Amino acid sequence: MNGLLKKAITFKQVLLSMSAGGLLLVSMQAMPQLCDTSSLASTPTHSFLITAEGTAFDRKTNLEWKVCAEGQTWSSGDCMGSASVHNWQQALDVPKVLNASEGYAEKSDWRLPNIKELATIIEHRCELPAINHSVFFKVMHEDDYANENTDNDREYWSASPTGSLNEASSWLVDFTMGDIESHARTFVRKVRLVRTVPKPD
Q: What is the pLDDT of residue 138?
A: 75
- pLDDT for 163 equals 81
Compute the average pLDDT of residues 61-84. Answer: 95
Higher pLDDT, 73 or 22: 73
Whether pLDDT at 169 is above 80: yes
Does the pLDDT at position 17 exceed 50? no
What sign does the CA torsion over 117, 119, 123, 127 have? positive
What's the confidence (pLDDT) of residue 10?
39
State the pTM of this model: 0.81
Residue 25, classified by CB atoms within 10 Å of its CB into exposed (0-12), middle (13-18) or buried (19+), is: exposed
Per-chain mean pLDDT for the chain: 83
Mean pLDDT of 107-135: 97
128: left (phi over 0), alpha (psi -120 to 50) or beta: left
**According to the model, what pLDDT value does residue 32 have?**
79
Model confidence at 28: pLDDT above 60: no
| Predicted pLDDT at 142 | 45
Strand order in the sheet with 194-196: 48-50, 55-58, 63-66, 194-196
Please, what is the end-to-end C-alpha distance for the chain in angstroms? 43
8 A C-beta contact, residue 170 and residue 39: no
Q: Quick one: pLDDT at residue 6?
A: 45
Residue type, 70: E
Q: Give residue-wise pLDDT tens across range 139-165.
A: 765 444 444 445 557 899 999 999 866
Of the given ranges (63-77, 109-123, 135-149, 185-199), which has the lowest mean pLDDT? 135-149
Cα–Cα distance, 184 to 88 (Å, whole number) = 8
Confidence of residue 64 (pLDDT cuts 50, 70, 90): very high
